[in-house]
A = this chain, B = another copy of it.
Amino acid sequence: MARAGEEALIARYFAPLAGPGAEGLRDDAASLTPRPGHDLVVTADAIVAGVHYFPEDPPGSIAVKALGVNLSDLAAKGADPRGFLLTLALPDDWSEAWLAAFAEGLGAASRSHGCPLLGGDTVRSGGPALIGVTAFGEVPAGAMLRRQAARAGDRLCVSGSIGDAALGLALRLAPDPGLEAAHRDALLDRYLHPNPRLRLIPALRRHARAAMDISDGLVGDLGKMLAGTGLTARIETAQVPLSAAARAAIARDHGRLSVALTGGDDYEILCAVPPDHLAGFLAEAEKAGVPATEIGTVEAGDGPPRFRDAEGRAMAFASASFSHF
């Protein structure tokens, strides 16, 4: 079957996803204006077939991930999503069936997060597929949460549970038939479908001093939060929240704890909260349906954050941070 050209393809699959200001995707640009008293927050992340996802993953899941990893950055900055641009670089063997399923998944994610498509570009990749998203969010003026704004004494908190996606990836690469199917499926699903923590935004705005999303592993990303600031941290590893599925996987192989702590693709929020805001933050997060957990404390000092196990022993990690690059 002959495949559509770029214009036809946009009209057929992507124009239905277009939001206000997008000119129905018939223009080369879109207009976007924050509400009075607000700043725009802009972020861009790309995912590549064979690097950030498996080429054989369902196209709808790939779309969910491409948008999700960007909205996760907005959530961490305290920014409500306003829209996104899509740069779609397709391999030579793209099919309309793949594209239709991709657009359907993208549309569903876009609607459920209230984040319409504003424009973009479609090109040949000459290699694997690449899906680049630029996401736009909105914060009250001057209130974008920064990564490197923690102070000594702040409590470190994370949303949800840590390590599920990294364990899911590990199980895809090396299946473990002894792990209960429900646990395996839960971990595989977390790898496939990141869930940007947008509902945590009000609690973050009210209570957090610094925040980032955890995309390259808790250990490495915490290091990035504090690098060069004259601060370090002490983490009680036993307090790091693990899902029932992750606990089951780790019980079968204790080495998987390191995978959970250093692996990528959590898309949870890591934040530093002043001590007098801790109770308020945890309560508000709970109420918003996004459990948050205190895992340690920011301290003055240099050197990487120290992780202690349940017996109080220092933990070392062969590779602190996951890198797709």
List residues of A whose CB falls within 8 A of some B CB.
5-7, 23, 26-34, 38-52, 73-74, 76-77, 79, 85-87, 89, 118-128, 130, 132, 134, 136-137, 139, 141, 144, 146-148, 212-213, 215, 224, 323-325
Chain B contacts of A52 at CB under 8 A? 123
Say whether A148 contacts B26, CB under 8 Å: yes
Asked if residues A30 and B48 are in contact (CB atoms below 8 Å), the reply is no
Q: A123-B51, A134-B85 are in contact. Are A29 and B42 (CB under 8 A)?
A: yes
What's the minimum C-beta distance from A72 to chain B, rounded to whole angstroms? 9
- List of B residues within 8 angstroms of A42 by Cβ: 29-32, 85, 118-119, 134, 136
**Shortest Cβ distance from residue A160 to the other chain B in the assembled complex, whole angstroms:** 18
Given the complex, which residues of B lie within 8 Å of A134, measured CB to CB? 42, 44, 85, 134
In Å, the complex CA distance between A76 and B23 comes to 15
Is the pair B144, A31 in contact by a Cβ cutoff of 8 Å? yes
Bound complex: CA A148 to CA B26 (Å): 8
Distance of A325 Cα from B10 Cα, bound (Å): 12
CA distance A118 to B212 in the complex (A): 17
CA distance in complex: A146, B27 (Å): 7
* B40 engages A31 (CB within 8 Å): yes
Q: Point out which of A7, A23, A27, A324 has the most chain B C-beta atoms below 10 A from its C-beta.
A: A27
CB pair B27–A31 under 8 Å, yes or no, is no
Residue in B closest to A32 when the chains form the complex, CB atoms: B40
Please give, as numbers and ranges, the residues of chain B lying within 8 Å of A50 by CB-CB distance: 126
A29 and B73: CB pair below 8 A?
A: yes
Q: Is the CB of A89 within 8 A of B46?
A: yes
CA–CA, A124 and B49, complex, Å: 10
Contacts A43-B119, A134-B85 known; A29 to B128 CB distance under 8 Å?
no
How far, in Å, is A113 (CB) from chain B's closest CB?
16
Given A26-B147, A28-B77, A147-B23, answer yes or no on A46-B324 (Cβ-Cβ < 8 Å): no
Contact between chains at A43 and B30 (CB < 8 Å): yes
Q: Choose from B39, B126, B224 the contact partner of A49 (Cβ within 8 Å).
A: B126
A27 vs B146: C-alpha distance when bound (angstroms): 7
A132 touches B121 (CB 8 A): yes
Do residues A122 and B325 form an inter-chain contact, with CB atoms below 8 A? yes
CB–CB A33/B31 < 8 A: no
Alpha-carbon distance A128/B91, docked complex (angstroms): 11
Evaluate whether A79 and B29 lie within 8 angstroms (CB atoms) in the complex, with A44-B87, A126-B51 already known: yes
Cα–Cα, bound, A79→B89 (Å) = 26
17 contacts between A and B (CB under 8 A): A6-B323, A6-B325, A26-B148, A27-B147, A27-B212, A28-B147, A30-B43, A31-B40, A33-B38, A34-B40, A45-B121, A48-B89, A48-B123, A122-B325, A123-B130, A124-B324, A130-B130
- How many angstroms between the C-alpha atoms of A32 and B144 in the bound complex? 10
| Given the contacts A23-B146, A39-B31, A44 and B324 also touching, CB distance less than 8 Å | no
Q: Are B124 and A325 in contact (CB under 8 A)?
A: yes
- In the assembled complex, how far is the CB of residue A220 from the closest CB belonging to chain B, in whole angstroms? 10
Across-interface contacts of A76 in B (CB, < 8 A): 28-29
Known: A30-B43, A31-B139, A32-B39; 15 extra A-B contacts, CB below 8 A, are: A5-B323, A5-B325, A23-B147, A26-B147, A28-B215, A29-B41, A29-B137, A31-B40, A32-B40, A33-B141, A44-B121, A46-B87, A49-B126, A50-B126, A51-B126
